Amino acid sequence: MNFGTLPSGERVERHELTSGRLRAAVLSYGAILQTLEVDGVNVVLGLPTLDDYLTRSRYFGAVVGRYGNRIAGGRFTLDGVEYHLPVNNGPNSLHGGTEGFDSKVWTIRDVTGSAITLALVSPDGDQGYPGTLTASVTYTLDGDALRIDYTTETDAPTVVNLTNHSYFNLAGGGDVLGHVVRMAADHYLPVDGDKIPTGEAAPVKGTVFDFTTPHAIGERFDGAYDHCFVLNGDITVTEPGSGRTMEVTTTEPGVQFYAGGMLDGDATPYGPHAGFCLETQHFPDSPNQPAFPSTVLRPGEVRASTTTYRFPG
């Protein structure tokens, strides 16, 4: 169905998916997951109109790219050439720049009752990135699970790091500080004052970043999490009031755990900690951090990853 029209004249579509206990709505603008209902309760933060997404969004439900998370100084060097990106987060480039994938209209390649595939072609030089990149994202509802499959290809060497920026609230309202997180991550990435990794993978043991045993989001650190964790297994989040649980598995090496502390309730409809993000991804600033897993994509290669959010009943 038609969700609205951009000032450019581009039409934005909205499609609903259903399977078992789950129901979802996906927009062609930003490949946004607008709603995800579990047993009739919407567990993601979304906005009701296209104008809201243009003016009041904090990447709610969007696929971000070409590079999710931060790149220090808005620059990186690849094969001896330095590339400059738009700076939109202090001194850094965040989530692909000022006009990232979250603000593009994706092409709907295929849609069924329970799955949708969207595609986007990012031209050479888009937001300063080299190479023409072809990306696709498939959302599939399968019983009690939402699976997101990503693929990317390029015609010239580039860097890429796609992720979904959904904010979850398993209660369907209120804040998420009481949600309990267990995360199989023995290390996290410490950051400097600009939230750029120092290059170290530090042990979580004995710190407020230790979720190897369950802890509520607001139990420590004032819930001020916005850090990348090095995964060695799955993530489980439980909302004690409803008993609703979400299990996250991914092929990616890390996850940015953000507890929504910068939501302000003024510029957006949601206040601080109205939702939390688990952005499965490669590490922030990897193009400038040779010790991190590489995010370089070269012609002839296909970068593919899968993340699954399961809601056991």
Q: Where in the sequence numbering do the catalytic residues fall?
A: 165, 279
Cβ contact 160:59 at 8 Å:
no
From first CA to last CA, the distance across the chain in angstroms is 30
- Residue 96: CB atoms within 10 Å: 30
Burial grade of 2 (CB within 10 A; 0-12, 13-18, 19 or more): exposed
* Backbone phi and psi for residue 185, each to the nearest 5 degrees, phi listed first: -145, 110
Tokens 């931060």 — which residue? 70
Q: In angstroms, rounded to a whole number, what is the distance separating the alpha carbons of residues 27 and 146?
A: 16
3-state secondary structure 61-114: CCEECCECCEEHHHEEEECCEEEECCCCECCEEECCCCCCHHHCECEEEEECCC
Q: In angstroms, rounded to a whole number, what is the distance separating the alpha carbons of residues 282 and 254?
A: 6
